[in-house]
Amino acid sequence: MSYLTSLPEDATLFELMRRFPGLAKRLVPINNYVMRGPSPLTAAQRETIAAYVSALNACEYCIGSHTEAAKAFGVPEGTLTALVADIDQADIEDRFKPILHYVRKLTLTPSSMTEADADAVYAGGWDEEALFSAVLVCCTFNYMNRLTDGVGLAASTQQAVGSGKLLREKGYEVILKMLDLE
């Protein structure tokens, strides 16, 4: 239920961006860069981080669409649930686990980050570009979770599935085209 009276009660992010086009013009290119720009992390890994951070924040709006986007990139059903339960027991590439531990700590206790946390990512075989990319995704989705929850956006399962497929097929910049803001 939207808390902004100018939006419909069941508003989505699309309606929010239509109402505030200045936000869309600035935010969509950043999100596209973070999620689809150059990175040692695959789009599937970045969507997994987005869904995982959203799950840690209990942001239902973002959990749905980014879990669906991750699935559209080939991430198996149930991966997010397994990650939330226990990263180390989840059926994911061992190399990816230090990154997920890093973004978990950055999301839940950001002021407790240390060099040892970064060293664990490096020991997993990642470089600083990968770490920076993971941090950008984590920051983006902590922001997006607060934005969507703060204004009371809601998405149905059907909308989440559609959004996930759209993100897989067209990326983030399609939002500007759909809003006629290019």
Contact 173, 29 (CB under 8 A): yes
Tens of pLDDT along 124-169?
999 999 999 999 999 999 999 999 999 999 877 788 778 878 887 8
Cα(53)–Cα(61) distance, integer angstroms? 12
Domain extents for the chain? 13-178
What percentage of the chain carries pLDDT values higher than 70?
A: 100
Would you state the CATH architecture of domain 13-178? Answer: Up-down Bundle (1.20)
For the chain, give the mean pLDDT: 93
Least Cα distance to 19 among 8, 31, 29 occurs for 8
The mean per-residue pLDDT over the stretch 81-93 comes to: 97
Contact 28, 18 (CB under 8 A): no
Cα(61)–Cα(49) distance, integer angstroms? 15
Tens of pLDDT along 94-133?
999 999 999 999 999 999 999 999 999 999 999 999 999 9
Tens of pLDDT along 63-76?
999 999 999 999 99
